[in-house]
Structure 1
Amino acid sequence: MCKFENDVKNNLIKCGITLEKKMRLGAAVSGGADSISLLVSLSSILSELDIPLFVITVNHNIRLAEESDGDANYVEEMCRKLRQDGLKVECDVVKLKKGEVAEVSRQRSGGIEEAARALRYQAFESFIKEKNLDALCLAHNKNDQLETLLMRFLQGSSCDSSGGIKPTRGKFVRPLLNIERCEIEKYLNEKKIAWRTDCTNFETEYFRNKIRLKLVPFLDKEFPGWQKAVLSGGEKSVEDSDAINQMISIILKNHKQCEISLSDFVELPESVKIRVLLKACNDAGETKRIPYAFLKDVINSVSENRKSGCFIKQFSSIKIEVKNGTISVKKLSKSDTDSNFFVIIDEACLKDNCEIELPFVKFDVLQLKALGATSPFCLRSVRIGDQIKSADGKMKNVSDILSDWHVSNEDREKVVVLQELSGSTQPIKCIFACFLGYKDWIVKL
């Protein structure tokens, strides 16, 4: 066993992988140098112990067919050659539908890279369950770690994120994380094994590529030793994060899940408040990134409304509500439509004059009371088929009204309707678009 393979083996053990015959280990392989070195080294290590290796490669189908299909075909061919050499290697190819990544990107309001990663990890999770794997190895290396730490710093990440890539996360393990890319390429060159190169790796419109191709060479030239300092800073952030998370666990131990006493919350340090809210959002089932500015706004509102002690804040599908001395965090379930936001206002909220914050506008409950609104009702986004009563008593499509107002497609997603929730008809009583520069449509309540 060569030094490279011995390092990978030792890293597996450090990640808690017990190399026994009953072990079921997988590897995610893209065709690039990092993952090919992972494939080759793992198959060699496991073959000595007669342990099979289960390989998955994901074709995102977002590049030209000859590139994306070529990568997947290359991984399959590599696995076939390893089997011919007597190694126990299986290979599964997952090919995403054309346009699937773009659609998920649109739904999540994020970039193509983020959407591709989300779908890739979905495929990994399914693969782990299907193959009953003890662990799935990923090919992140030391260079990836450095790039990630630089990215997180430039993005202003908290210490939870600024610690970089973790060696283990659930069933995901990264046995190359302390190995440099030059060592990886040297290993493959010595074995005379080729690898695929993704042409998008050289497109500097991607943030990570900009770090790799522009910032890293500059740091190498002007700041010798920067890598050690950055890695050391990442380790310290992990230690700080662990300490704060331990504190949060103690704080939340005596509270219901996704709830905390308002009096306890206001006494916490600012950084702990942020993490308490973030953990509550995650515990409620929110997987999207929660903006720091939103969490900070909740904290400021707690301070400003401490006397009245009642308000509602919403981001995406997360609703944070303060009332009766308690902060509660809920993930709103979608109705049978694709509504972007949906907040229910009940009797307690009306009584306490809560402030209701939607993604694009705030409502004072006193405003809604003045319109004659009675609970329960909801404020939500416009849906296909929505109708509202016109002056002549007939029903009119909300979409037609927005067309008459020349509301843009972008602004239509921000328009708010007020719908009663009691009774059998549950009519829409108001259309709020004045805050966007259009009109409001108010049915006399």
Structure 2
Amino acid sequence: MFSKFQNHIISRFPFLEDKKLFLAVSGGLDSMVLLHLLQQLPFEIAVLHCNFQLRGLESFGDQSFIQNYCDQNNIPVYTTQFDTEAFAKDYKLSTQVAARELRYSWFYELLENEKFDYILTAHHADDNLETFIINLTRGTGLDGLTGIPEQNDKIIRPLLPFSRDEILKYAEENKIEWREDSSNASNKYLRNKIRHDLVPMLKEINPNFLSAFQKTQSYLQESQEMVEDASIMIYQQVAKEVGEDIHFDLNQLQKLPNYKSYLYQWLNEFGFLAWNDIYDLVDGQSGKQVFSAEFRLLKNRNALILSPISEEDEKDEYHINKEDQDVNFPLKLRLCNVDHITLDSNKAIFVDAEKIQFPLVLRKWNEGDIFHPFGMNGKSKKVSKLFKDEKLSLIEKEKTWILCSDNQIVWVVGIRQDERFKIENTTNNILKIELQ
């Protein structure tokens, strides 16, 4: 396997020569084999390990195992710990999605801070098959059927051509130690159900199923390339780039029998999610808009105009007047008077309306911001310290908004209310402010 791996690196990733590489290592079979293989090649490597604290002492055992291995082999290692379940609950994510968000946010932060070039992960052919089946069961287009990409930005997956059986055989031949993740034996997660029940059945039907699947996926990738080529040709007929903006001619667009597919192909990379709203823009009124995190799509007469949200568009602050019940930009907020409070989510706060001075100001946080966290009996705290305690990534910090009344922080939105505006026994008018 080593010779095959070495040839694969040379042929597919020649640009890795003289680069500094991070390896994402869980301690399991796949990542320990990848680490062993790369130790034999002339690369400058360091190990990254995330402790998601999902399996009690077992999680800390994995961390110790990797730390000891790296110490014994003189490999630099970076470790971190996440309260994954709390993060998943706060942001209403599945545990697996939360772990992925935390992991990759930390990976990219280290890439920048430590001046490394790429991150290598140990995804292999069986992972690719399982991902294909998961996407197929949920409904997907070609993008979801072409599999895990061997390179995605700074993430590289050099084990994709190798099966789990090949990896296991290599580990046994080279007496490589690894840690078994007890959660992999459970069918709690969809991926495990597919791995334990469905894939063995498919391989029983056809012992060469994995090889046949890889051929099929290769054909699908070729089809996807044809779609992309066609998309580029039609784009040149329909779109006109004007500075940073892109203008789509609706008269030309609507002549296409499947223009929605082209719009998806062109706009997907800009982070849009509300596809039905985008398709409705084609026949919608002039002036209607759809937003992604960094771009807006505007219907302007016979054109759709795609433009980045500039600093002028994303102002330093937004005012909320007393009569405003619904705020739609830059966040969706609802303000209403209520008779009682329900403390079941950090997505809403209840304040004494008589303590609030309008207009309220919604702004991004500043480095020196100080507030009085609810529940701390009036003690003050820096917002930056709150972010550190909450283990927010750089990206999450940049997306956090502050709601203020007369220059006093009312709410670090979605995270913590300020004590000074809380409901008391003497409160006569309760204002609920909810993040939608």
Q: Within the alignment, does 1:295 sit opposite 2:292 as a pair?
A: no
Deviations 1:154-194 (A, max 9, x none): 22221123211111122222111111111111111122222
> d(CA) in 2 for partners of 1:221 and 1:403?
63
What are the superposed Cα offsets for residues 131-159 of structure 1, whole Å, 9 maximum, x if unpaired? 32232221011111111111122222211
| 8 Å Cα contact 1:76/1:91 also seen in 2 | yes
Unpaired segments ≥5 residues, structure 1: 84-88, 345-377, 387-397, 414-423, 428-445
- 1:417 is matched with none
Q: TM-score normalized by structure 2? A: 0.67
Correspondence for 2:12:
15
Distance in structure 1 (CA, Å) of the matches to 2:47 and 2:155: 13
Q: Does structure 1 residue 68 correspond to structure 2 residue 37?
A: no
Q: Name the TM-score, length of structure 1 as normaliser.
A: 0.65
Instruction: Judge conservation of contact 2:136–2:144 (CA < 8 Å) in 1.
Output: no
Higher mean C-alpha displacement, 141-150 vs 101-110? 101-110
Which gives a bigger RCO, structure 1 or 2 (Cα 8 Å, sep 6+)?
2
Provide closer, same or farther for how the CA distance between residues 249 and 123 of structure 1 changes in structure 2, counting only shifts above 3 A.
Answer: farther
Distance in 1 between residues matched to 2:339 and 2:206, nearest whole Å? 58
Given candidates 68, 78, 90, the residue that maps to 1:92 is 78
Q: What percent identity do the matched residue pairs reach?
A: 23
- In 2, the alpha carbon distance for the partners of 1:80 and 1:8 equals 25
Q: 1:30 is matched with which residue?
A: 26
Is the deviation greater in 72-81 or in 102-111? 102-111
Q: 1:32 to 1:53 in 2, by over 3 A?
A: same
Cross-structure match for 1:421 = none
- In 2, Cα distance between equivalents of 1:407 and 1:265: 49
CA RMSD of aligned residues (A): 3.5
**Distance change (3 Å), C-alpha of 1:342 and 1:222:** farther
Number of matched pairs: 336
- Residue 355 of structure 1 corresponds to which residue in structure 2? none
Partner of 1:219: 202
Structure 1 residues 334 and 236, CA, compared in 2 at 3 Å: closer, same or farther?
farther
- The 1:94–1:334 alpha-carbon spacing in structure 2 relative to 1, beyond 3 Å, is farther
Residue-by-residue CA offset, 1:74-110 (whole Å, 9 max, x unaligned): 1111122223xxxxx22111222xx3x3344345543
Q: Does 1:255 align with 2:232?
A: no
Determine if contact 1:167/1:177 at 8 Å carries over to the other structure.
yes
1:110 pairs with 2:84: no
Compared with structure 1, are the counterparts of its residues 407 and 73 closer, same or farther at alpha carbon in structure 2 (3 Å cutoff)? closer
- 8 Å contact kept, 1:317–1:333: no
Q: Paired residue for 1:139?
A: 122
3-state secondary structure, aligned to 1:160: helix
Distance 1:277 1:35, change over 3 A: same
Question: 1:113 deviation in Å?
Answer: 0.5
Structure 1 residues 247 and 314: alpha-carbon distance in aligned structure 2, compared to 1, 3 A threshold: same
User: 1:303 Cα shift?
Assistant: 5.3
Q: Distance in 2 between matches of 1:6 and 1:182?
A: 17
Measure, in 2, the Cα distance between the counterparts of 1:78 and 1:328: 54
Q: Is the 8 A contact 1:136 1:173 kept in 2?
A: yes
Change (3 A) 1:222 1:43: same
| 1:201-231 deviation per Cα after TM superposition (whole angstroms, max 9, x unaligned) | 1222212112111211221223444333432
Three-state SS of the structure 2 residue aligned to 1:164 is coil
Taking the aligned partners of 1:203 and 1:24, their CA distance within structure 2 comes to: 36
Aligned with 1:175: secondary structure? Answer: coil
Correspondences of 1:168-183 after superposition (within 5 Å): 168-183=151-166
Contact 1:274-1:296 at 8 Å conserved across structures? no
